[in-house]
Amino acid sequence: MFRVGAAVGAKVASSSATLPLALSSASFSGTAAAAFVISSMTLGRNVVNQIGLKTPQAPVPPAKSVLTEPHTVDAEAILAKTAAMDAAEWSVDEIAKTLRESHLVTWGATGAVDPIQIAQGDGVYFTDTAGKRYLDWNSGAMCSNLGHTVPEEVIEAVVEQMRAAPYAYPCHTTVPIKAKLGRLMQELMPGDLNHFFYTCGGAESNEAALRMAKLFTGRSKVMARYRSYHGGSAATMALTGDPRRWTAEPAMGNVIRVFDPDPYHVSFGKTEEEIVANNLTHLREVIQYEGGHNIMAFFLESVTGTNGVLKPPAGYLEGVRAICDEHGILMVCDEVMAGFWRTGEPFGFMHSDPMIVPDIVTMAKGINGAFVPLGAVAVRDHIAEHFMDHPISIGTTYNSHPVGLASAYAALKHSLATGIGANAKAMEPVMQKHMNELADKHPAVRAARSVGLFGMVDLQKNSAGEPFVTYNGPPSPAIAAFNKELRENGLFTLFRWSSFMCNPPLIINEEQIAEAFDIIDRSFAPIDDAFEG
């Protein structure tokens, strides 16, 4: 059941059962967007279908796997070429051609993607190399919380750290900024979430949390939900419930999956109380089947991200916390997207009442506005105490990178001083008002919701509520055309099958939100034309 989540005057949202939400970007045009979905998602089905059938033939090695002539690095010649490149004016086509010849993109088929070439950022906007300006309606990858203009104090902190001590081997050396950031983070976190482990991003944070949970509990199983995404690494893809997991399978075993309060087709009830009671009963039963004493942790996004932007119903997080306590299961809240004021609160789990305290919290993205790579794991005192005299057995070269820590310390102080959390709260009813107006004007809008500045709009192809794109289904020409119109009219966002994201930088104001919805309204013709009534 879709709810409007803390929305003010929200349009009543109907069941989410037929509203599956594969990631395509407003930077893709027409057939490119379609090719992206086909290439990535068809690959997923093929991989699954091949498991257990026959062993694939070994690939034929390309020519020249062994060089007949030695490879030499001619520094003088290389520097001459780079000097020429630096002095030249690169055209849009030259950049695109060079990128195709030298790089691979994430998630999609490289040949099908035509990425926007960003030349300059400015607040909630960025400008491409052809001079076209876009309003960033998704904060990049839901991470540019402070927009595309780096605050001067963040620049100064990063430069100062690079000049003072640009790197410290995390196990045997450290820097003062780590202590300062630790104290600041302790002030942000509730309860006894007092110890932190710094990573390079969200997937790495969830990987570290998983390892900590196993070492702390000594248990072998982990629980996660179907409507979830926890990262693109091997273990975090195994935790992930959505179809992006398929291409990584067979993956890490012993992952138990449970239904969210909002499955696509199964209903746990009509009221929040009924939904919570029935879903928690389902959770208890699965734990009974698996043996609570075998389960190390339950990973869940406090507010579901790309799989719906779903705020949990009242009482759900509180009930999960109680069940985890009964069985000694660690509750791990993935705050990679929702954290650092995206929902109006510092972290998504803080919407619970009374406020729960997770055992572990994973985070990244908004911790420093994504100006440099950084993630973190927060753990409660009893878990940290275990690792005071037991090896944590997790280590990476860039753990607690001084430059990343300096950026976070400055960015968090800036966020507190400028009140981005208060702004996200204040803009929520503004966002919902425009969503309701869009729904009133366009019958193809099936539901819309926002928690702070974490939002999504779901589209339907008819009044029966059928989506344009079924769960992991083939792309829709209407969605691709709408996506193209948005881009041409100067708005960047991401699509999740029949839904599009509304996650602007947390510095956005009322006028800019109105500008975004004006673009969306003007770009809606392909959806209106495809609506069957």
Q: What's the confidence (pLDDT) of residue 7?
A: 36
CB 462 within 8 A of CB 422: no
Strand bridging mode 499-502 / 454-459: antiparallel
Structure token pair of residue 292: 């609570």
What integer pLDDT is reported at residue 44 of this predicted model? 36
CA distance 179 to 185: 10
Beta bridge partners of 134: 126
Residue 242 token pair: 């959505």
pLDDT on residue 437: 98
Please tell me the distance from the alpha carbon of residue 258 to that of residue 262, in angstroms, as a whole number. Answer: 11
Residue 8 has a pLDDT of 34
**Mean pLDDT of each 10-residue bin along the chain, 533 residues long:** 35 38 37 34 34 57 82 96 95 93 90 92 97 97 98 98 97 96 98 98 97 97 97 95 92 94 93 97 98 98 96 97 98 98 98 97 98 98 97 95 98 98 98 98 97 98 95 93 97 96 98 98 98 94
Question: pTM here?
Answer: 0.88
Residues 451, 310 contacting (CB under 8 angstroms): no
Query: Can you give the length of the chain in residues?
Result: 533
- Residue from 283, 280, 298 nearest 272 by CA: 280
Question: Burial, 441: exposed, middle or buried (Cβ in 10 Å; 0-12, 13-18, 19+)?
Answer: exposed
SS3 318: helix
Domain parsing of the chain, residue ranges = 152-418, 420-529
Q: Count the neighbouring beta carbons within 10 Å of the beta carbon of residue 123.
A: 16
CATH superfamily for 420-529 is Aspartate Aminotransferase, domain 1 (3.90.1150.10)
CA dihedral 7, 13, 19, 25 (to 10 degrees): -40
Query: What is the phi-psi region of residue 220: left when phi exceeds 0, alpha when psi lies from -120 to 50, beta otherwise?
Result: alpha
pLDDT of residue 30: 38
CATH of segment(s) 152-418:
3.40.640.10
- SS3 label, residue 446: strand
Strand partners, 118: 128
Cβ atoms of 450 and 494 closer than 8 Å: no
Report, in angstroms and rounded to the nearest whole number, the Rg of the chain calculated over CA atoms. Answer: 24
| Rounded Cα–Cα distance for residues 220 and 199 (Å) | 24
Tell me which DSSP letter residue 246 carries. G
Per-residue model confidence (pLDDT) at position 153: 98
Q: Is 415 helix (H, G, I), strand (E, B) or coil?
A: helix
User: φ, ψ for residue 497 (rounded to 5)?
Assistant: 55, -105
